[in-house]
Structure 1
Amino acid sequence: MPAKDLKSTTLSSLFWKLFEQGGTAVVTLVVQVVMARLLSPVEFGVLAIMLVFVNVGNVIVQSGLNTAIIQVPDASEADFDTVFWMSLAISVVLYVAVFCLAPAVSSFYGMPQAVTPLRVLVLVLVVNAYNSIQEAIVARRLEFQKTFRATVTAGVVSGSAGVVAALLGGGIWALVVQQLLQQACKCLVLALQIPWKPRLRFERDRALLLFRFGWKLLASGILEQGYQSLSDLLIGKVFSSSELGYVSQGKKYPFALGAMLDGAIQPVMLSAVAHVQDDAARVKRLARRALKTSTYLIVPAMTLFAVAATPVVRIVLGEAWLPSVPFVQLYCVVYAMLPIHTTNLQVLNGMGRSDLFLRLEVVKKVVGIAILSFTTFVLRDLHAIVSGYIVVALLCTFINASPNKRVIGYAYLEQVRDICPAFLLALAAALVAWPVSLLGLGDLPTILLQGVAMLVAYVGLSALFRVEEFFYLLDTLRELRMGRAG
């Protein structure tokens, strides 16, 4: 694809991906706020345990093979069909396994009420076998407006159903209904927009080719999700369900904010890199732009969230959730480093280097499990456990970046120099915004005034010091506006 056409398509895709992530975040926030006020921390803790099995299952069903479809240059509808039947078979096997294990899981964690909800919730794995192909087709064609429509519609429908179930006293079932309907509705809306429908065909040779690429990403995904889930499993066992609920809520909102911003840029970059993977210089330019832009947006957002965490939690979730404030702040630090992780990993995916991707995951998980084990079994402190994730995230910035010096000539120190302005500007802006909390204003005025102070300081300093990302974003907005007007 010519550079001009690729840039135009990428900008258009980025526009729709931002709308998708933003729309989803707004709908999800409203739903989660209502649900948090209707349900207890214990019920959210039970959900966190159940989602461990769903999330690990989703990695097995979705990761690897659908990324292979995006990356291979000659993917056909026969490939889509082949991967779908493989994913469907895997999802059914996983569903049966979790169905049989549900009583043992519930007994181990002392949650007898979770047996049937868990068996119903894991039905989402079967739905996601179909959705994984839909998502791959959208990403391959850079048609993210279709995902926008599906995701926002699914959020509204599932959120409404979940809230109604909670109001009717559904308890944990309200959360199950919301999770299951969200994926089913998204799948249905995408099916109305994408002409592909599965056919009864399976090409063994293509399956082997795609699997040779995808199995490494699959193994990497299992390592990553298994590591993330291990924390919930340990907290749920060593501590109480309510404490797990506080940690889960503390992680959820910084993660959602990071996913909204970084998640809009990185999938588009993966598709763009896959189109120019033979030109390392162009890939490096794409990677630098994605890293710098994503960091410039995410770091101040996380900084503001950390500064205003107490009034935000009190006004949004209520007094009962104030113990989650320290976890919100700690996870803001963790997810401020998200862009350097995802940018480097997406480059390896787009370049077809799943071998390096897997090696990195093995190294990172050894480091992460060692720190998690120490904070859980030696220190036995929830705040230490989450603080340990900050140490892991910092170490992993170097681990994730190290191969790309060789692959595309983008060294770690060069990446650090590229993201330093955003961190320094965010710190300076936070020093301007933080004193507002000392004025004794109400929660809402404090949040609004801190937000305004942070924005004015961050943008003002960016303009004053001629920060490249600031002017790039202004130029991009002009291009998008002119493109839409044209």
Structure 2
Amino acid sequence: MTETDLRSRTIRSLVWRLFEQGGSAIIQLVVQVVMARLLTPSEFGALAIMLVFVNVGNVVVQSGLNTAIIQAPDVTDEDFDTVFWMSLAISLVLYLAVFAGAPVIGDFYGLPFLVTPLRVLVLVLVVNAYNAIQEAIVARGFDFQKTFRSTVVAAVVSGTLGVGCALMGGGLWALVIQQLSYQVTKCLSLAVQIPWKPRPAFRRGRAWVLFGFGWKLLASGVLDQLSQSVSDLIIGRVFASGELGLVSQGKKYPQQLGTLLDSVIQPVMLSAVSRVQDDTDRVRRLMRRALKTSTFIVAPSMCAFALVAPILVPALLGPQWASAVPFLRVYCLAYALLPIHTTNLQVLNGMGRSDIFLGLEVIKVAIGLFALVVAVYSFRNIYAIVLAAALSNMICTFINAFPNKRVVGYPYLRQLRDIAPAFGLAALATAAAWPLGSCALGAAGTVALQLLAFSATYLLMAWLLRVEELYYLLRVAQQAMGGREDS
């Protein structure tokens, strides 16, 4: 694939990823706001405990083999069939394990009512075994418009069902139905658009080849998910489920915002890198572009969110969620660094270096667990636990970036220099908009004024200082609009 063709397909894919992520996120945000006003922190805390097991299971079902299919230079329909049957078998084993262990989990957390909802929610693992293949096909073909359609449809359907159940007093079941119906609807919607259907074919030789690459990513994904989730498990055990609900909501919104913005770029970059992995210079240029562009968007978004959170959260979610604001602000700081994590890891994936990927995860899990143990046993304070998680996250940026000095010639200090302008401008914009929080304009007026001042300061300074990422995004927008007009 030529440089021009790769750039053109990448830009089109970025636009569709933006539509996909943005459209789905807006709908889900509305749904989450409504459900947060209808349900209690304790119910969201119970969901957070269940999602730990579901999320770890999803990594086992989807992560390694799915990425192996995307990264492989050439794949056949039999490869897709082989991976599907492997993923399905794994999902069924995991489902039976969680089904059998649900009573023990409920007793451990003193929440016996979790048993049946957990057994129902974990059915999502079986659904995702099928959906993982569909998403791999989409990623390989840069056909992200199909994912856009399916995620928007899924967000509407699941949101309607979840809110309807909450209005009827469904409580925790409203959250379970919303989570499960989203994945089922997304899977069915993709199945309508993608011609692939599983056949009774299994190639043992290809299974070993794909597993040889994927098992390291699988182990890495499980370790990463456990490191992210272990704090929820400990908070749920040591503190009340209501406090876990506050922490989980304080984490969820920055996480979703950061992932929304960053994931527009990262999956597209993985597909692009896997196609030019033999050309280190092109990979380095792709990586640098992805890191700078993603940070230019994510860093100010996180700063702006933290800025308006004390007014926005109680106004949108209700006064019962005001105590989540300190946690939200800490996680905004942590997720502002998301691009440096994901960009480095995606490059290692795209270059086929899953061996390095696994080693990094082992080191990061050790750091995260050490910080968590110190926070729990030295302070036994929920704020200390959250701060420890954020601190270990910042330390791990260096861990993720270190190998790429050798792999693609892009060292950590150079990466920091590349993203420093975005953080500097975001800090300046925050300082300019902060005093406006005391204006007596009502919640909506004050938030709007602060965001307007923040955005104007950030963009104006980027324009005056001729920050390259701003001009790149403008060029991408022009090319995307030109491509749409041509089509």
- TM-score tier by shorter-chain length is over 0.9
CA distance in 2, matches of 1:400, 1:440: 45
1:13 alignment partner in structure 2: 13
Alignment TM-score, normalising by the size of structure 1: 0.99
2:198 alignment partner in structure 1: 198
Q: Does 1:244 align with 2:240?
A: no
**1:382 Cα deviation (Å)?**
1.3
String of CA shifts for 1:427-478, please: whole Å, max 9, x gaps. 0010111010122331111110001000100000001111000111111111
1:458 alignment partner in structure 2: 458
SS at 2:197 equivalent: coil
**1:386 Cα deviation (Å)?**
1.2
String of CA shifts for 1:361-393, please: whole Å, max 9, x gaps. 011111110001111222111111111122112
Q: Which residues in structure 2 correspond to 1:107-256 (within 5 Å)? A: 107-256=107-256
Which amino acid in 2 is paired with 1:267? P
String of CA shifts for 1:142-200, please: whole Å, max 9, x gaps. 11000010011001000100000011111111111101100000000000000000000
Q: Does 1:38 align with 2:17?
A: no
CA distance in 1, matches of 2:269, 2:383: 35
String of CA shifts for 1:302-346, please: whole Å, max 9, x gaps. 001001001110111010100000011000000000000000000
Contact 1:124–1:184 (Cα < 8 Å) also in 2 = yes
CA distance in 2, matches of 1:441, 1:172: 36
CA distance in 2, matches of 1:302, 1:165: 32
Contact 1:402–1:411 (Cα < 8 Å) also in 2 = yes
Which amino acid in 2 is paired with 1:389? A
- Please tell me the root mean square deviation across aligned C-alpha atoms, in Å: 0.6
Q: Does 1:367 align with 2:370?
A: no
Contact 1:103–1:112 (Cα < 8 Å) also in 2 = yes
CA distance in 2, matches of 1:290, 1:389: 26
CA distance in 2, matches of 1:412, 1:110: 45
Which amino acid in 2 is paired with 1:472? Y
CA distance in 1, matches of 2:442, 2:449: 11
CA distance in 2, matches of 1:200, 1:312: 52
CA distance in 1, matches of 2:79, 2:242: 45
CA distance in 2, matches of 1:210, 1:394: 33
1:294 alignment partner in structure 2: 294
Contact 1:95–1:123 (Cα < 8 Å) also in 2 = yes
2:22 alignment partner in structure 1: 22
Percentage of matched positions with identical amino acids: 63
CA distance in 2, matches of 1:405, 1:243: 41
SS at 1:377 equivalent: helix
CA distance in 2, matches of 1:346, 1:159: 31
Deviates more, 1:390-399 or 1:73-82: 390-399
Deviates more, 1:385-394 or 1:85-94: 385-394
Which stretches of structure 1, 4 residues or more, deviate above 6 A after TM superposition? none
CA distance in 1, matches of 2:277, 2:63: 20
Q: Does 1:56 align with 2:56?
A: yes
SS at 1:287 equivalent: helix
Contact 1:261–1:297 (Cα < 8 Å) also in 2 = yes
1:477 alignment partner in structure 2: 477
String of CA shifts for 1:40-98, please: whole Å, max 9, x gaps. 11100000001111001001100100100001111111000000000000000011110
CA distance in 2, matches of 1:256, 1:22: 11
1:70 alignment partner in structure 2: 70
Which amino acid in 2 is paired with 1:368? G
SS at 2:213 equivalent: helix
SS at 2:268 equivalent: helix
1:356 alignment partner in structure 2: 356
SS at 2:373 equivalent: helix
Q: Does 1:91 align with 2:91?
A: yes
**1:234 Cα deviation (Å)?**
0.1
CA distance in 1, matches of 2:180, 2:377: 35
CA distance in 2, matches of 1:285, 1:200: 42
1:335 alignment partner in structure 2: 335
Contact 1:21–1:259 (Cα < 8 Å) also in 2 = no
**1:420 Cα deviation (Å)?**
0.1
CA distance in 2, matches of 1:367, 1:468: 35
Alignment TM-score, normalising by the size of structure 2: 0.99
CA distance in 1, matches of 2:389, 2:21: 25
1:396 alignment partner in structure 2: 396
CA distance in 2, matches of 1:50, 1:439: 41
1:266 alignment partner in structure 2: 266
Which amino acid in 1 is paired with 2:81? D
CA distance in 1, matches of 2:341, 2:63: 17
CA distance in 2, matches of 1:92, 1:129: 9
CA distance in 2, matches of 1:229, 1:452: 35
CA distance in 1, matches of 2:373, 2:140: 40
CA distance in 1, matches of 2:236, 2:110: 10
Which amino acid in 2 is paired with 1:107? D
Long gaps (5+) in structure 1: none
**1:421 Cα deviation (Å)?**
0.1
Q: Which residues in structure 2 correspond to 1:432-447 (within 5 Å)? A: 432-447=432-447
SS at 2:265 equivalent: helix
CA distance in 2, matches of 1:378, 1:25: 38
CA distance in 2, matches of 1:377, 1:199: 53
CA distance in 1, matches of 2:90, 2:84: 10
1:449 alignment partner in structure 2: 449
Long gaps (5+) in structure 2: none
Contact 1:59–1:225 (Cα < 8 Å) also in 2 = yes
Q: Which residues in structure 2 correspond to 1:305-316 (within 5 Å)? A: 305-316=305-316
Q: Does 1:282 align with 2:243?
A: no
